[in-house]
């Protein structure tokens, strides 16, 4: 089991995986195929979670659990690596995300330009595992890693993830935590649309005002540039991914007619 805590860890992981793959012709031809190991592991994990209501979709390597009112859906997605090497390295990672049907409906009816969203939050399963920090990658070709994955993922789901899923179904808890600056959803757009859906515009405005005070200062700089751009050139017709949080905040302020307190930082 390997923890990926930062970009340096990720770069080292990619480098070593590529190097291993380049020597895959030296591996044992009798070893179980990586895809078979991966799919078998996913099925074992799914079997452990069947008793609490999860449905497994093998072709998508995805687990799904609906809330009692059918308004929220929890997904767990498994993924691997095309540079796996039979008998030496078979990667497994797991991410979870929570979707809201009410958020989807509101976002579609009130998109940010042409962009709508239904995912409240998405994280690596490692964010809920005690004893480490970051994302987790398991090597299923290693017996200890294989056993650890089959144990830890169902255990973490039952002990921690289900509680998170239940909390996300309580809109008042979520709104209060955002207001206290203790929490946010996937990004500013999702957080603001969620709050507006709940008719909590004042909290949305406070959230964005606070967001502009965060590091790096480039967020505030990009926000001010975007505001000037919109004044001179008008609002763009389509949402452009990758423009940065400052640009996104300026769009949210303009499109939803919000009142943001812009910090005076020299």
What are the residue ranges spanned by the domains of the chain? Answer: 2-168, 171-255
54-98: pLDDT as tens digits = 999 999 999 999 999 999 999 999 999 988 989 899 999 999 999
Global confidence as pTM: 0.87
Nearest-angstrom CA–CA distance, 94 and 149? 10
Which residues of the chain are modeled with pLDDT < 70? 3-29, 265-266
Phi-psi map region of 123: left, alpha, beta (phi>0 left; psi -120 to 50 alpha): beta
**Nearest CA to 1 among 116, 99, 91?**
91
CB atoms within 10 A of CB 61: 20
**Which CA distances in Å does 212 have to 24, 121, 219?**
49, 21, 6
What integer pLDDT is reported at residue 266 of this predicted model? 45
CB under 8 Å to 146, separation ≥6 — which residues? Answer: 37, 41, 138, 140
What integer pLDDT is reported at residue 20 of this predicted model? 57
- Collapsing DSSP to helix, strand or coil, 45 comes out as helix
CB under 8 Å to 179, separation ≥6 — which residues? Answer: 203, 206, 207
What integer pLDDT is reported at residue 31 of this predicted model? 80
189-212: pLDDT as tens digits = 999 999 999 999 999 999 999 999
Nearest-angstrom CA–CA distance, 103 and 196? 10
Tokens (6 digits) for 204? 């949305």
């Amino acid at each position: 089991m390997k923890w990926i805590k930062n970009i340096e860890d990720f770069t080292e992981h990619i480098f070593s995986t590529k190097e291993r793959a380049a020597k895959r012709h030296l591996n044992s031809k009798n070893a179980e195929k990586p895809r078979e190991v991966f799919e078998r592991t996913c099925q074992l994990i799914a079997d452990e979670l069947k008793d609490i209501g999860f449905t497994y979709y093998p072709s998508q390597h995805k687990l799904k659990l609906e809330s009692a009112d059918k308004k929220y859906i929890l997904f767990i997605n498994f993924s691997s690596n095309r540079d796996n090497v039979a008998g030496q390295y078979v990667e497994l990672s797991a991410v979870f995300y929570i979707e809201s049907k009410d958020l989807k409906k509101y976002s579609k009816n009130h998109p940010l330009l042409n962009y709508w969203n239904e995912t409240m939050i998405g994280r690596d399963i490692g964010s809920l595992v005690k004893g480490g920090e970051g994302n987790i990658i398991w090597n299923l070709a290693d017996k200890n890693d294989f056993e650890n994955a089959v144990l830890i993922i169902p255990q973490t789901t039952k002990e921690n993830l289900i509680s998170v899923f239940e909390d996300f179904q309580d809109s008042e808890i979520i709104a209060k935590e955002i207001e206290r600056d203790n929490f946010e959803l996937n990004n500013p757009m999702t957080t603001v649309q969620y709050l507006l859906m709940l008719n909590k515009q004042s909290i949305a405005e406070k959230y964005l005002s606070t967001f502009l005070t965060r590091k790096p200062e480039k967020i505030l700089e990009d926000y001010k540039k975007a505001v000037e751009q919109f004044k001179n050139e008008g609002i763009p017709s389509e949402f452009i991914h990758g423009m940065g949080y400052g640009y996104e905040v300026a769009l949210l302020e303009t499109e939803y007619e919000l009142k943001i307190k812009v910090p005076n930082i020299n």
